[in-house]
Chains A and B, each alone.
Chain A
């Protein structure tokens, strides 16, 4: 079946703009994670959804970042007033439940000019 998909694959925006990054998890996967990977770094946890609710958003760097998963499937990561430091690859992963292997999407490369 189809794996985790993320759109867009690349996003270039200007400082101060608003962006939305979308994640389509594997069908039936209840757990969804967002990570951010900066150049030369490992992924860093942002937020975890179990179903529709954000069970842990402790990794969101500040209140400019927000994520939703209204129907327990697709998730959108929203970044307001983007800053150059937000430039990174944003990764989404889903798992059947939280105890199972996480499957990763290809990532969205965000560049803030």
Chain B
């Protein structure tokens, strides 16, 4: 079965420190990976996807097929980055692109 693993439930860093949120996926051809973020009292929103190779809010994520990883990184964390982060990938069956999710990592950026 396709899986997405986020090994850390909670990550706590100080403002200005680098942050890396880990995500590993089960191997399956050419995967497509996403990072979603949920700020306090807000809805889930897409942060970035590996296809676009964008940097959003200073975050980047590189797909490493050898390690089957898609870790989310930011060189200098800010307090407003405190949120719940989910790694996800679509499980494609025909036109259905239902998302398979990790358990999420709660990031706390301390002043």
Interface residues of A (CB under 8 A from B): 3-4, 31, 33, 35, 40-45, 48, 50, 55-56, 59, 91, 93, 95, 97-99, 101-102, 104-107
| B94 contacts A by Cβ under 8 Å | yes
| B65 contacts A by Cβ under 8 Å | no
| Nearest chain B residue, comparing its CB with the CB of A59 | B98
Alpha-carbon separation in the docked complex, A30 to B88 (Å): 21
* CB<8 Å pairs between A and B, sample of 27: A3-B43, A4-B43, A31-B95, A33-B98, A35-B99, A40-B9, A41-B103, A42-B4, A42-B86, A42-B103, A42-B104, A43-B44, A44-B101, A45-B91, A45-B100, A48-B98, A55-B96, A56-B96, A97-B95, A98-B95, A98-B96, A102-B99, A104-B43, A104-B44, A105-B43, A106-B43, A107-B43
Give the distance to chain B from A65, nearest Cβ to Cβ, in Å: 15
The one of B95, B96, B101 in contact with A43, judged by C-beta atoms closer than 8 angstroms, is B101
Interface residues of B (CB under 8 A from A): 4, 6, 9, 42-46, 49, 86, 88, 91, 93-104
Contacts of A55 in B (CB 8 A): 94-96
A40 touching B46 in the complex, CB below 8 Å, given contacts A98-B96, A99-B97: no
- Contact (Cβ within 8 A) B96 A48: yes
Alpha-carbon separation in the docked complex, A93 to B42 (Å): 14
Give the distance to chain A from B84, nearest Cβ to Cβ, in Å: 10
A45 touching B95 in the complex, CB below 8 Å, given contacts A40-B103, A104-B43: no
Of A3, A43, A95, A101, which is in contact with the most chain B CB atoms at under 10 Å from its CB?
A: A43
Q: 3 shortest A-B CB distances, which residue pairs?
A: A42-B101, A104-B44, A45-B98
| Nearest chain B residue, comparing its CB with the CB of A6 | B43
| Nearest chain B residue, comparing its CB with the CB of A4 | B43
A31-B97, A41-B104, A56-B96 known; 7 new pairs, CB 8 Å cut-off, are A40-B103, A48-B96, A59-B98, A93-B44, A102-B97, A105-B43, A107-B43
Of B42, B46, B91, B96, which is in contact with the most chain A CB atoms at under 10 Å from its CB?
A: B96
Alpha-carbon separation in the docked complex, A59 to B93 (Å): 13
